[in-house]
């Protein structure tokens, strides 16, 4: 039996004139993601995308798994291809749906007649197929309101399709339709989740990681790459910049008052990130900060980190509790990596009494002995790039 994958667009159906653009981006993203599953043909019609495998050994299950991680998809399912003929539809439906219906107690049949020339009307299609399924699966009952399984018959231009329940897609908007932004990524729980949240709204991602060897190890960098791989399964390829941060931290430790260490460090991170972003067509910064979570995430602390940059700082986790963040972290399979012990540059030189109500003037005063521009230029010149997918 020939099987295909049907994909229903998500929110992008709302986008009016932009719709074609959104659909084309979605199709491009799907093609990229399925490139190593085997050869296939991809077509769109009426907010549905059809994927038809062209090889016997097309990796069908893996393809479904990857489609579940493409943003811009509301739902998807496998479907059996039939002739546009009730005899063929009925004879294929029993073997095709056997596994699904054997595990259900109630069902209903729905028909979608895109081809209005098909001789049977929708209620007749439902009655004929429903009756046949009841004869073959005697344990089943019909429930039109809340069935375990909805069997759908679609009558299209050239073929008919039979399918069971749709699987929920990843939702959101196709990556690339909202432009590009840079995630400041640590090895913690929050920043990979923040990256995922913004990719979900259509942003393509660059990533920036600050490393302070020998205070932080190569293992910490590896961890960041593993976390980004989990995000990239959803966002597509991420360009990672690893910025050497040791000298900056040592200079801060030498030249700034201790209670301002973290704030000055974060201001340096933001300045460097903005500069790297402007060089790489990235229009905003993303962080994993959540209001009040730690001393550097109070409103006054966020204010003094924001004032050093002239681009939006997106903080998708700002209103979330830790347990809400952990749910997403587990869902994207990042949690077990995030909780591995590691040193982050933030944990090196942590002040005993961090300032929780800093003012901009106090920060500027604390930074006055730092060669800010010199340190930034040196760090950017020694930045190392790689691609994560
Ligand atoms: P996370 O779980 O993401 O590490 P956190 O709650 O531990 O966040 P902080 O360590 O204060 O919070 O960091 C706040 C944000 O600053 C992080 O979410 C991340 O966006 C950014 N950040 C922290 N450390 C680094 C780093 N070494 N490189 C790049 N960005 C960082
Ligand atoms: Mg952290």
Confidence of residue 377 (pLDDT cuts 50, 70, 90): very high
Q: Which atom in ligand 1 lies closest to the alpha carbon of residue 211? A: 27
Domains and CATH numbers, the chain: 3-171 (3.30.2130.30), 180-388 (3.40.50.620)
Cα separation of 296 and 312, whole Å?
18
pTM of the model as a whole: 0.93
Q: Whose CA is nearest to atom 31 of ligand 1?
A: 186
C-alpha 175 – ligand 1 centre gap (Å) = 23
Taking residue 160's Cβ as centre, other Cβ atoms within 10 Å add up to: 26
Among all ligands shown, which has an atom nearest to the Cα of 296? Answer: 1
Q: What is the pLDDT of residue 12?
A: 56
Stretch among 10-14, 185-189, 233-237, 275-279 having the lowest mean pLDDT: 10-14
Q: What is the pLDDT of residue 278?
A: 95
Stretch among 202-206, 296-300, 336-340, 373-377 having the lowest mean pLDDT: 296-300
Report whether 169 contacts 73 (CB < 8 A). yes
Which residue in 23, 388, 32, 67 sits closest to 174, CA to CA?
23
Among all ligands shown, which has an atom nearest to the Cα of 285? Answer: 1
Query: Number of helices (H) and strands (E), helices first, in the chain?
Result: 13, 15
Mean pLDDT of 279-283: 93
Stretch among 26-40, 84-98, 336-350 having the lowest mean pLDDT: 336-350
pLDDT at position 62 over 60: yes
Q: What is the pLDDT of residue 14?
A: 57
Q: Whose CA is nearest to atom 14 of ligand 1?
A: 289
Among all ligands shown, which has an atom nearest to the Cα of 344? Answer: 1
Among all ligands shown, which has an atom nearest to the Cα of 288? Answer: 1
Report whether 4 contacts 78 (CB < 8 A). yes
Mean pLDDT of 250-277: 96
**Residue of 186, 243, 289 to mutate, ligand 1, most atoms within 8 A of C-beta:** 186
120 alpha carbon, distance to own chain's centre: 42
* Cα–Cα distance list, 216 to 10, 221, 384 (Å): 42, 8, 16
Query: Where does ligand 1 bind, in terms of residues with CB under 6 Å?
Result: 184-186, 188-191, 208-210, 269, 287-289, 293-294, 296, 344-346
Q: Whose CA is nearest to atom 12 of ligand 1?
A: 289
Q: Whose CA is nearest to atom 20 of ligand 1?
A: 287
C-alpha 209 – ligand 2 centre gap (Å) = 11
The two three-digit tokens of residue 257, written as one number: 């008052």
For 121-180, what is each residue's pLDDT tens digit? 999 999 999 999 999 999 999 999 999 999 999 999 889 999 999 999 999 999 999 999
Confidence of residue 355 (pLDDT cuts 50, 70, 90): confident
Q: Whose CA is nearest to atom 11 of ligand 1?
A: 296
Report whether 268 contacts 376 (CB < 8 A). yes
């Amino acid at each position: 039996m020939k099987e295909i994958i049907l994909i229903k667009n998500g929110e992008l159906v709302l986008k009016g004139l932009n719709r074609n653009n959104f659909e084309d981006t979605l199709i491009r993203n799907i093609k990229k993601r399925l490139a190593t599953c085997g050869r296939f043909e991809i077509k769109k019609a009426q907010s549905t995308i059809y994927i038809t495998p062209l090889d016997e050994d097309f990796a069908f299950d893996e393809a479904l798994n990857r489609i579940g991680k493409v943003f811009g998809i509301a739902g998807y399912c496998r479907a059996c291809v039939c002739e546009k003929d009730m005899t063929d539809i009925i004879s294929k439906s029993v073997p095709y749906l056997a596994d699904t219906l054997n595990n259900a107690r109630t069902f209903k049949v729905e028909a979608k007649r895109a081809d209005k020339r098909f001789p049977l009307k929708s209620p007749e299609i439902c009655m004929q197929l429903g009756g046949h399924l009841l004869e073959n699966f005697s344990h089943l009952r019909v429930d039109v309101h809340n069935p375990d399984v909805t069997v759908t018959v679609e009558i299209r231009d050239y073929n008919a399709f039979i399918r069971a329940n749709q699987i929920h897609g990843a939702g959101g908007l196709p990556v690339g339709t909202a432009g590009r932004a840079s995630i400041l990524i640590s090895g913690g729980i929050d920043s990979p989740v923040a990256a995922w949240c913004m990719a979900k709204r259509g942003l393509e991602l660059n990533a920036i990681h600050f490393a302070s060897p020998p205070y932080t190890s190569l293992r910490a960098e590896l961890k960041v790459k593993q976390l980004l791989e989990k995000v990239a399964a959803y966002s597509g390829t991420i360009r990672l910049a690893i910025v050497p941060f040791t000298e900056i931290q040592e200079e801060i430790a030498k030249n700034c008052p201790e209670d301002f260490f973290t704030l000055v460090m974060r201001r340096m991170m933001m300045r460097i990130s903005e500069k790297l972003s402007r060089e790489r067509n990235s229009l905003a910064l993303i962080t994993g900060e959540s209001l009040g979570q730690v001393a550097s995430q109070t409103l006054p602390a966020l204010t003094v980190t924001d004032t050093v940059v002239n681009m939006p700082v997106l903080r998708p986790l700002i209103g979330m509790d830790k347990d809400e963040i952990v749910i997403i972290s587990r869902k994207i399979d990042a949690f077990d990596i995030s909780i591995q012990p590691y040193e982050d540059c933030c944990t090196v030189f942590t002040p005993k009494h961090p300032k929780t109500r800093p003012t901009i003037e106090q920060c500027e005063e604390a930074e006055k002995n730092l060669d800010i521009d010199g340190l930034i230029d040196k760090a950017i010149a020694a930045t190392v790039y790689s691609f994560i997918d």
